[in-house]
Structure 1
Amino acid sequence: MATQDAHSLGHDTAQGNWLTNSTGYQTLLVFLLALNFGIVFFDRQALNALMPFVQPDLALSQTQIGLLASGLSFSWAIAAFFVGKLSDTLGKRKLLLVIATIAFSLCSVLSGLATSFVFLFAARLLMGAAEGGVMPISHAMVASEVDPARRGLAQGVAQNLGSNLLGSFLAPVVLVAFATAFSWREAFYLAAVPGLLSAALIWFMLREPVPVAPPAATAATPAETFGFLDALKVRNMWICVVVGVLMVAHFVITWAFMPLYLTEVKGYDPSTMSWIMGSLGIAAALYSFLVAGLSDVIGRKPVMVWLPFLAVLGPLGALLYDGSALVLAAIFFVGWAVNGVFPIFMATIPSETFPPVRHATVLGLAMGSCEVLGGVFGPVIGGMLNDAFGLDSFLYLLIVLSVISGFVAMGLQETAPAVLRKRAAPGPGPRPDGS
């Protein structure tokens, strides 16, 4: 707990650059980072949305479908661990972000060229390696460049708004329509174009953040190397990692298997399926504002505890409801409120627990561990269960993951600055009459 003593919960980023940045620049930065991560997810979700076309063409099993999702998550996680730390070391966050954006865009073209499971698996590994460092760098930029009073909202928007409008809504709707008109290969080529445009916007419109100097060493806090194990000694950090592993598994499993489940088990046509899945994107885009902003007011812990329990509505609806696609989309919409907590456990709580100089490192730990454990093992287990017990087996796994997440989150310590200030404020003084 020495690390936690040295860096108290609710740490204010007074050492950051936000005091010198105008509100307009802070807004522009969050907007461009949200757009860029949206394009990341547009490319990442492309294979999930196009799976009803890809699976019969390449003769993929359920386990292979899970492995494709796992492979991308694995290389994504490795990149998140090390690119985040590299950006802390080099202090070249904008440059690394632009390089990663160009690289993952080119990897989308490789996915469209795939002629076998092995080829496609290799392309997804490369894409994950290119994409993994994007979010740790982006969150570190938000943490140092944006006013801490709006940190939760800004990080929620940067991670959730673009990723869900572009990746979870537009990706299934646009790419399925494009694949229906042409083929799934052309759809992958289309997915590569926006990233190149985003890289240019970031390069020309954002400035490289000024590196934050590390705190001076004292007898109580010697100048020693800060590693992942040091971060995990803090309770909030390891709880965020555990919840993150479970909820990233929930997310990746949902997107890996739900499109096929809706077409093969529920009997929806690909177009209807794309709109049902698109409802998740619209929901998560709204919740990126509502949940993150709400956590700034009522605290991080309440939303982290209750929303995973609410998430059981999605898989229960898929299992039990056999009526209108519109009603099923509405059930998904409510249950997917849990997506609003992703930036909170991946970025907001860790960045409020550690000083700015360590942000990219701890954010890389949070995101990388979530991906390497939840994103890698979750879909493989889901695919194996589907092959062994039927295509609805992954839904029961989703319910279990949600419930465990809610209980684990009960151990969190609050970090929201507004809530901590309210708790620390002295009570009302005595009245003039002495009562």
Structure 2
Amino acid sequence: MFALFNTWLFVFTAFAPTYLVEADHYSAGDMGIIMAAVGLGSFFWGFLVPMISDKLGRKPTLIIFSFIACLCPIVFLFIHASIAIMVLIGFITAVGQGCIPLLGFIIISESVPARLAASVGGMVQGGGELVGGALMPLIAGILADHIGLTAPLWIASIGSFIAAFIAIGLIETAPIKKVKQQVNSHQVTQLMEE
């Protein structure tokens, strides 16, 4: 999933500026404003999404925000609006950035023994960066040359879309949810004993 989100992030941020200028005919200055909003949204959501996952749980948060993140490249493909609307859309749909800390750090540290967290985290991040940050942008560039500038944006969208479906199969790791599950199972056990 980390590789899929790196695909979403790196392919989108590498090719969206070119798409906005060459295919959608925004000026370079307007494109810069739109992409700055995406960057600001990434910063904002990078804090907010993990905070939401502390309350809602890791699994539902990943499912919801992965599906929303897949809209970001699609919106850029199909909506040509004023700069203000594109800035708002770019800011809101940059939520995928908030899933990256969940996948690269938080869930790992909650899923493995503490003594293995750094090693497992390094493997996940290394593999995710290699696939999503190096290989997929290369493939997206080749497809952009042969198919057109829409191909990389579709690749970015598909990355977070697949991640959303994988998230459905995750086991919840949020401490607050695990405690609630333990309390509920304990209550069920007590009722059965009575």
Match of 1:249 in 2: 7
Q: Which runs of 5+ in 1 are unaligned?
A: 1-242, 431-435
Within the alignment, does 1:387 sit opposite 2:145 as a pair?
yes
Which residue number corresponds to residue 332 of structure 1? Answer: 90
Secondary structure of 1:394's partner?
Answer: helix
- 1:421 corresponds, among 179, 183, 188, to 179
What is the alpha-carbon distance in structure 2 between the residues aligned to residue 345 and residue 293 of structure 1?
14
Shift of 1:350: 0.7
**What percent of counterpart residues are identical?**
32
Aligned to 1:131: none
The structure in which a higher percent of residues are helix is: 2
Query: Which structure has the higher relative contact order (CA within 8 Å, separation 6+)?
Result: 2
Indicate the SS of the match to 1:323.
coil
Looking at CA atoms only, which structure, 1 or 2, has the larger radius of gyration? 1
Residue matched to 2:159: 401
Q: Report if the CA contact (8 A) 1:250-1:402 is conserved.
A: yes
CA distance in 2, matches of 1:246, 1:384: 18
Is 1:269 the counterpart of 2:27 in the alignment?
yes
Give the aligned partner of residue 367 of structure 1.
125
Deviations, residues 34-76 of structure 1 (Å, cap 9, x unaligned): xxxxxxxxxxxxxxxxxxxxxxxxxxxxxxxxxxxxxxxxxxx
**1:258 matched residue in structure 2:** 16
Q: Deviations over 1:123-179 (max 9, x none)?
A: xxxxxxxxxxxxxxxxxxxxxxxxxxxxxxxxxxxxxxxxxxxxxxxxxxxxxxxxx
Per-residue CA deviations over 1:227-276 (Å, capped at 9, x if unaligned) read xxxxxxxxxxxxxxxx1111101111011111111122222222221111
- 8 A Cα contact 1:313 1:331, kept in partner: no
Structure 2 distance, partners of 1:263, 1:244, is 29
Partners of 1:347 and 1:366 within 8 A in 2: no
Q: Distance in 2 between matches of 1:347 and 1:295?
A: 13
Amino acid of the residue matched to residue 289 of structure 1? F
CA distance in 2, matches of 1:285, 1:376: 22
- Cα deviation, residue 330, structure 1: 1.5
Residue 319 of structure 1: aligned partner: 77
Moved over 3 A (4+): 426-430
- Give 1:364 deviation, angstroms: 0.3
Q: Is the 8 A contact 1:315 1:395 kept in 2?
A: yes
C-alpha RMSD of the superposition: 1.7
Distance 1:391 1:352 in 2: 39
Provide the aligned length of Structure 1 versus Structure 2.
Answer: 188
Displacement of 1:410 in angstroms is: 1.1
Shift of 1:280: 1.4
Q: What is the aligned counterpart of 1:358 among 105, 116, 127?
A: 116
Q: Structure 2: any 5+ residue segments left out of the alignment? A: none
Contact 1:262 1:268 in 2 (8 A): yes
Which residue identity lines up with residue 142 of structure 2 in the other structure?
A: M
1:262-311 per-position Cα deviation (integer Å, ceiling 9, x unaligned) = 12222222222111111112212221222111111111111111211112
